[in-house]
Amino acid sequence: MIEPGKTIGVFGGGQLGRMFALAARRMGYGIRVYEPAANCPAGQVADVEINAPYRPGQALDMFLEGLDAATFEFENIPADFLEAAARRLPVYPAPAVLLTCQNREREKTFLRQNGFPHARFAVVSSANDLAAALEDPGRPGVLKTADFGYDGKGQVKVNPGDDPAEIWETFGGGRGVYEEWIDYQAELSVICASGANGETACFPASENIHTRHILDFSIVPARLPEEILAEAARLATAITRALGVTGLLAVEFFLTRDGRLLVNEMAPRPHNSGHYSFDGCLTSQFEQQCRAVCGLPLGSTELLRPTVMVNLLGDLWRDGPPDWTPVLRHPTAKLHLYGKAEARPGRKMGHYCVLGETVETALADARSLQAALAPASPTRT
């Protein structure tokens, strides 16, 4: 057990690391952040921020000196870099977990080999491979890069009649995963925590609504049948155990029109769709990550009140910082800004949560606040 008062390292300096640091500091832990870019969101609230590339060397040695454990806040960290750190101190989740989840080919292969439900897929590395995949699993479908894809980046939809050679040229080559197109009725996600002793705890499933491939709303409790939510938690727990996760694992699902759950993606870290837990649960996903990494008992994931989380993207800053008065004036809304220096379209700059007596009132208030913050924006779904 790594008790409060010890020091935890975080690889990655974004908003997930920032919120982890805030939760850990509240519990009495010291925090160090390792991040290539200076003045990162997590570094602003850490005791020490070290800025250096993700490769073994003097900066990593300095970072690890006196640390008691480390974790990470995003996937695009070289696994061999984390393995170098793991030879010196506990790193959770293990680098092997990251290696599986940071690459779609390895992730989908893990799901297939372990019998977890997923979209049919084929690994492609040429136009000829893609042409074969258009026969099985067939069209329509979506071609995704094997590495470094998020928020819809690195993805191309393939429709009937499209020329595989032209698609492959547009895709840019390399290696990809071609998946069948899923006609789904809802998207949802479950965050499962697992301690080193095998204890697990799932947060309530969130119903997720995306706009332009970026998460817009997370709605908790999800407006879906209880048996679906129970099955999603069961699958998330089983996947967490099969991967050998110590820490957090976020599992994203499609719910198909005929009522099947298919695993879409996995992330071995806190997740955007779990931000509602900061305000809506007895234990936030970030405190839970700290508890799991440090070998503490896991906290209760009980939902205190129905909660809706709304992302705040850089588009809102097009005429300068937004006027936050509508959110700040709302009696059950909570504003979270990430301290990012530059606002860009599509960049996640913050979020707010709205708590309500019912999920319907929380969602209605969340939509009203979104309209008040950006009255000129196109209507979202």
7-91 shares its CATH topology with 120-180: no
Q: Per-residue pLDDT averaged across 345-353, rounded?
A: 96
Largest pairwise CA distance in the chain:
62
Q: Is the pLDDT of residue 153 over 70?
A: no
Pair of tokens at residue 58: 């003097």
Q: Tell which CATH architecture fits domain 7-91.
A: 3-Layer(aba) Sandwich (3.40)
Predicted confidence at residue 379, as pLDDT, reads: 42
* Phi, psi angles (nearest 5°) of residue 250: -95, 130
**Gyration radius from the chain CA atoms:** 21
HSE value, Cβ hemisphere, 13 Å, CA-based, for 363: 16
Residue 200 and residue 230 in contact, taking contact as beta carbons nearer than 8 Å: no
| pLDDT single digits (tens) 257-288 | 999 999 999 999 999 999 999 999 999 999 99
Please give the single-letter amino acid code of residue 2: I
Q: Tell which CATH architecture fits domain 120-180.
A: 2-Layer Sandwich (3.30)
| CATH fit for domain 184-373, picks 3.40.50.300, 3.30.470.20, 3.40.50.720, 3.40.630.190 | 3.30.470.20
| Domain range summary for the chain, segments of one domain joined by + | 7-91, 120-180, 184-373
Report how far residue 199's alpha carbon sits from residue 192's, in angstroms, rounded to the nearest whole number: 10
Average pLDDT, the chain: 94
Predicted confidence at residue 367, as pLDDT, reads: 98
| pLDDT single digits (tens) 286-311 | 999 999 999 999 999 999 999 999 99
Q: Is the pLDDT of residue 222 over 80?
A: yes
Predicted confidence at residue 146, as pLDDT, reads: 87
Grouping H, G, I as helix, E, B as strand and the rest as coil, residue 162 is coil
